[in-house]
Amino acid sequence: MFFQTNILTVTVLSYMLIKFIPAIGWLRNYPREHLSGDLNAGVTVGIMLIPQGLAYALIAGLPPIYGLYAALVPVLIYALFGTSGQLAVGPVAMVSLLVATGVSDFAPSGSAEYIQMAILLAFLVGLIQFLLGILRFGFITNFLSHPVLSGFTSAAALVIGLNQLKHLVGLPIPRSGGVFEILKYVAVHVAQIQIPTLVIGLAGIAIILILRRLTPRFPGALIAVIVATLAVWTMELEGVGVAIVGSVPVGLPVPSISFFSVNAIRELLPIALAISLVGFMESIAVAKAFASKNRTTINPSQELTALGLANMAGSLFHSYPTTGGFSRSAVNDQAGAKTPLASLVSAGIVGLTLLFLTPLFHFLPKALLASIVMVAVVGLVDVREIRFLWRSNRSDLALLALTFVSTLVLGIEKGILIGVASSVLTFIYQASRPHMARLGRIDGSDVYRNIERYSEAHIDRGIAIFRIDASLFFGNVEFVRDALSDFLDSNDTTKVLILDLYPVNRIDSSAQHAMFDLHRKLSDGNVHLLLSGVKGPVRDAFENSGLSTLLGEDAFFLRIDDANQRALAIAGSYLDDGPAEDNSAS
């Protein structure tokens, strides 16, 4: 007995452990046939991460090395705790932009303080995501609508791309959220554009695009990096004003918590919240897409936990906020990734690079990093969605346009706020209108159907039967109460109201109050209330609140037809004998 309990405990504990650290599960039963795919994908993504990391660090306003730090520890930690075999975590363009937007209000770009705040931001984002994850709040992303996300992403992509223009043309364009200011600056200073820088940038874009078209899985960005670095080195282009990355530190990041500052936390909290949600949205969308494609499943709350741990652990090793990226995950999937082992391999490649290869980046021109970013963000501009909505849903297109324009004109932060606000309003509007149907009896049967649908459904005189097709809670019960009230006000011959509550699985206290209100209104008007199909949990709630006692045990019926038989008897007594006061509900 004791032994059995122990076995049970061990089983439960190991189940919980695997649930929390999925890596234990897939490593223990690792299928040999996945190995070659995982290795191939891991190496491919690892090679992709190096130029991407350097480039995205530029977007975030950080020295390039921080992009590599962000591609190391978070990638390792996600591999242990994540549930997606294809998701490639690391620095991504959108989150990098949000970091730049959020931190540059408080410290000059690239300064020591700026770097500390970006790392603190990773810790905060991680903590928020981790807490939401263990509280099983994976569902919160449900409230952001697709058009809003699409509009925001497209606008952010344009902002990111245009903010890289300064590196591509070699002009000291001041950092700005305003797209038009950047274009104006370039137009005014067009004579000062550095031709060698521009040539490198454009050549970089051309190389990446051509190689991508020819061999999609070939590391085009890496080839461009090598060519550009060699060009600058051999032709000494640094001397004609081409900005280079310069000396990059060698070695793995050393753990540190020096970034911690209570004052800064208060300032960074709003942007940390925004990054937590936007980052998770991006990641979960990608993870779901590839899980569906590979016929596996992911667990949204565990994904939140894993991203949270990746960001928190990353912050201890100089990483800024990271998440799962779309293009990298697509490459991961195409290259054959089946388990997070691929991510472990990618992190290994980045680790080796940090240990041995960083001196090679000295002559890498920043213009080339800008071209990597620009090619990447063009893919984020979602023209297909605009075309889709133009054909199928103009009001959703308006929502997309609203988010797009406000992000472009008012900046990233206000754009997110406006997008979230319009999403939430749409959500509340939709969710507060549950489906209801007035039912009638199919003649000669005990079947009751929606009278709008079945013209043969028969309505008995003095009786109204409504079915409510949603669980009732504070958000939708007002609609139900108002609809029933309006119906009763305009149908004063109704003597019995039957509510079929079979589709109602839960009922909260606000909905119970509404039932009391409804009962009071009905009593005032001498209308009887009968309920059919009330399920166990709802029945219990009615018992506890005293509603069962108020309505009387004989007001509850299993089937609509039983309730209707009773209703016919009640309504009949009114019709035959005139209003019978003693029959009215108490």
Rounded least distance, CB 564 to its own copies, Å: 17
Residue 478 dihedral angles phi and psi, to the nearest 5°? -60, -40
Question: Which residue lies nearer to its own copies by CB, 4 or 392?
Answer: 392
Rounded least distance, CB 473 to its own copies, Å: 5
**Binds its own copies (CB under 8 A): choice among 201, 434, 440, 462:** 434
Is 411 a binder of its own copies (CB under 8 A)?
A: no
Is 334 a binder of its own copies (CB under 8 A)?
A: no
Q: Is 146 exposed, middle or buried (0-12, 13-18, 19+ CB in 10 A)?
A: middle
DSSP 8-class letter at 62: S
Which among 88-96, 206-214, 258-266, 510-518 is the span making contact with its own copies, rule CB under 8 A?
510-518
**Binds its own copies (CB under 8 A): choice among 130, 317, 404, 502:** 502
Question: Which residue lies nearer to its own copies by CB, 460 or 508?
Answer: 508
Q: How far apart are CA 444 and CA 86, in angstroms?
A: 58
Bridge pairing between strands 463-468 and 556-557: unpaired
Is 297 a binder of its own copies (CB under 8 A)?
A: yes
Residue entry with tokens 């060699």: 230
Bridge pairing between strands 448-450 and 436-442: antiparallel
Is 217 a binder of its own copies (CB under 8 A)?
A: no
Contact present, 585 and 522 (Cβ < 8 Å): yes
Contact present, 381 and 157 (Cβ < 8 Å): yes
Is 213 a binder of its own copies (CB under 8 A)?
A: no
Site string for its own copies, 274-293 (x = CB under 8 A): ------------------xx
What ranges in 243-297 are assigned the alpha helix state H? 262-293
**Binds its own copies (CB under 8 A): choice among 451, 513, 562, 572:** 513
Q: How far apart are CA 318 and CA 324, in angstroms?
A: 18
CA distance to 484, 496, 516, 539, 557, per residue, from 545 (Å) = 22, 23, 10, 10, 19
**Binds its own copies (CB under 8 A): choice among 20, 30, 106, 143:** 143
Question: Which residue lies nearer to its own copies by CB, 161 or 434?
Answer: 434
Q: How far apart are CA 364 and CA 453, in angstroms?
A: 69
Dig out the tokens for 384 from the structure: 């297909």
Q: Diameter of the chain by CA atoms?
A: 108
Which among 34-42, 75-83, 512-520, 574-582 is the span making contact with its own copies, rule CB under 8 A?
512-520
Which among 14-22, 162-170, 262-270, 473-481 is the span making contact with its own copies, rule CB under 8 A?
473-481
Helix (H) or strand (E) run with residue 341 in it = helix 341-352
Is 470 a binder of its own copies (CB under 8 A)?
A: yes
**Binds its own copies (CB under 8 A): choice among 430, 576, 577, 586:** 430
Bridge pairing between strands 528-532 and 556-557: parallel
Q: Per DSSP, what are the bridge partners of residue 88?
A: 325
Beta-carbon contacts of 484 under 8 Å, excluding residues fewer than 6 positions away, are 466, 497, 518
Helix 383-392 crosses helix 146-163 at what angle (to 10 degrees)?
150
Rounded least distance, CB 145 to its own copies, Å: 4
CA distance to 440, 450, 521, per residue, from 463 (Å) = 10, 14, 16
Rounded least distance, CB 177 to its own copies, Å: 19
Question: Which residue lies nearer to its own copies by CB, 297 or 491?
Answer: 297
Rounded least distance, CB 555 to its own copies, Å: 18
Question: Which residue lies nearer to its own copies by CB, 52 or 476?
Answer: 476
Which among 77-85, 239-247, 302-310, 500-508 is the span making contact with its own copies, rule CB under 8 A?
500-508
**Binds its own copies (CB under 8 A): choice among 505, 565, 569, 579:** 505
Rounded least distance, CB 580 to its own copies, Å: 21
**Binds its own copies (CB under 8 A): choice among 544, 569, 575, 580:** 544
Kindly provide the residue ranges of all beta strands, DSSP E only, lying in 314-452, ordered along the sequence: 323-325, 436-442, 448-450
For the segment 339-398, give every residue that binds its own copies (CB under 8 A): 388-389, 391-393, 396
Is 545 a binder of its own copies (CB under 8 A)?
A: yes
Rounded least distance, CB 299 to its own copies, Å: 11
Contact present, 250 and 359 (Cβ < 8 Å): yes
**Binds its own copies (CB under 8 A): choice among 44, 343, 471, 532:** 471
**Helix-strand-coil split of the chain, %, nearest 5:** 65, 5, 25
Is 446 a binder of its own copies (CB under 8 A)?
A: no
Question: Which residue lies nearer to its own copies by CB, 3 or 429?
Answer: 429
Helix (H) or strand (E) run with residue 119 in it = helix 112-134
Contact present, 121 and 312 (Cβ < 8 Å): no
Question: Which residue lies nearer to its own copies by CB, 142 or 491?
Answer: 142
Using CB under 8 A, list all residues that contact its own copies: 137, 139-140, 142-147, 292-293, 295, 297, 388-389, 391-393, 396, 423-435, 437, 447, 450, 453, 469-471, 473-476, 478-479, 485-486, 489, 502-503, 505-506, 508-510, 512-513, 517, 520-521, 524-525, 533, 541, 544-546
